[in-house]
């Protein structure tokens, strides 16, 4: 065995001993309480047909053929970007291949040497990775603790960037964007807001948390992703025209990657048109969340403090939470364990994602199953 193979095997063995080894799985015939398809658009036959019709109306091209700066740009993509900018109430928008790529692009190329990035300790890995690629100083603050954030702001140098999420993917709680913008104003800091889990489910036309609060003008850099509630794929960054022109010129994940194919651009376009025609889906999701929390409280489940579609039941220990999940899955519910090191040791949890297509009796049955652990 080569030194490389031995090194890989040793690291995998260590993960296995810690009971945190990840494996690819898929579920059949289980009730979905784990996907990010919050509004059911990924399974929508109406949206599927709409996308096919739009694709058939475009030039018959299977791929983008190159990066946007070479052969991968076209009039239709720019029209969709203009549509997104209007929905998100921004001067301009630029599409990226994924939310991961968009966040990595922003964090890696905008903050410069001598600047400071301060991020919530529960921020997504792509923001951490992007920050590592920049030459800026990096600090974290305790989750949603703005007193701690202020103490870090007082130590910061250069241009200051605060990176947060609107809805946190592991805890399901919201950022207090109103308080955050006031603090950013006080220290002349720029907010980078990842709206991944609020895209589609909040705000008019799915415009997210910041627009729903009418605070979009206080947040210069916003990232929206389409692979969750919108049911398709891709992402965009919105902000000023200067911001978008800067990313086109300096963001390596934009410059050096093949653009999304026409089918993906059409999917984004049609998904937002579909949501515009079915705005009631947001209210339906909200009612499902209320029902789950009501059923959980009746049964005295130790649910985390979340009013969003992401709910967590803490069961400390990787082995313990994995065993609990297996019991729930044998009852027909697709839930997944969230293990350390993804979350801090001792906060391992069953993550429950609620959807518009989850029937009320399914939600009640899931709560009952959880109460039997």
The residues annotated with a catalytic role in the active site are 36, 124, 165, 169, 194, 197, 228
Please, which residues bridge with residue 333 across strands? 31
Whole-number Å distance between alpha carbons of 59 and 49:
17
Distances (CA, A) of 130 to 61, 106, 235, 354: 32, 7, 16, 30
Tokens at 234, concatenated: 């891709």
Whole-number Å distance between alpha carbons of 150 and 127:
20
Tokens at 341, concatenated: 């090191």
Distances (CA, A) of 197 to 107, 193, 297, 306: 19, 11, 24, 13
Q: DSSP per residue over 138-204, as a string?
A: EEEE-TT-HHHHHHHHHH--SSEEEEEESB-TTT-PBP-HHHHHHHHHHTT-EEEEE-TTTTTTSSG
Three-state DSSP at 240 gives coil
Helices assigned H by DSSP within the chain: 3-17, 45-57, 75-87, 99-109, 125-133, 146-155, 177-186, 209-212, 241-250, 252-255, 262-277, 280-298, 318-330, 360-371
Whole-number Å distance between alpha carbons of 175 and 181:
11
For 214, other C-beta atoms within 10 Å of its C-beta total: 11
């Amino acid at each position: 065995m080569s030194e490389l193979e031995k090194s890989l095997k040793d690291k995998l063995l260590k993960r296995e001993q810690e009971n945190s080894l990840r494996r690819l799985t898929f579920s059949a015939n289980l009730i979905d309480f784990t996907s990010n398809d919050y509004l059911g658009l990924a399974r929508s036959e109406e949206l599927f047909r709409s996308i096919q019709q739009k694709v058939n109306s475009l030039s018959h091209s299977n791929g983008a053929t190159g990066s946007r700066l070479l052969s991968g740009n076209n009039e239709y993509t720019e029209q969709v970007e203009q549509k997104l900018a209007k929905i998100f109430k921004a001067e301009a928008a630029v599409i990226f291949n994924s939310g991961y790529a968009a966040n990595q692009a922003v964090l890696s190329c905008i903050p410069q040497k001598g600047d400071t990035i301060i991020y919530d300790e529960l921020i997504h890995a792509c923001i951490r990775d992007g920050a590592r690629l920049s030459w800026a100083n990096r600090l974290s603050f305790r989750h949603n603790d703005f007193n701690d954030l202020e103490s870090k702001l007082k130590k910061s140098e250069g241009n200051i960037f605060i990176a947060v999420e609107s809805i946190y993917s592991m805890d399901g709680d919201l950022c207090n964007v109103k308080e955050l913008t006031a603090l950013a104003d006080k220290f002349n800091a720029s907010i980078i807001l990842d709206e991944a889990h609020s895209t589609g489910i909040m705000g008019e036309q799915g415009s997210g948390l910041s627009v729903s609060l009418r605070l979009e003008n206080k947040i210069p850099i916003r990232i929206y992703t389409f692979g969750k509630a919108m049911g398709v794929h891709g992402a965009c960054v919105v902000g000023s025209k200067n911001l978008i022109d800067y990313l086109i010129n300096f963001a390596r994940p934009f410059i050096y990657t093949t653009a999304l194919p026409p089918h993906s651009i059409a999917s984004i376009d049609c998904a937002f048109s579909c949501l515009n025609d079915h705005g009631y889906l947001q209210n339906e999701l909200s009612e499902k969340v209320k029902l789950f929390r009501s059923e959980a409280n009746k049964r005295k489940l130790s649910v985390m403090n979340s009013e969003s579609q992401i709910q967590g039941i803490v069961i400390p220990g990787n082995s313990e939470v994995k065993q609990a999940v297996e019991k729930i899955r044998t009852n027909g519910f697709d839930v997944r364990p969230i293990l350390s090191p993804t979350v801090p040791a001792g906060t391992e949890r069953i993550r429950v994602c609620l959807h518009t297509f989850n029937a009320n009796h399914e939600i009640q049955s899931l709560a009952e199953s959880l109460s039997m652990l």
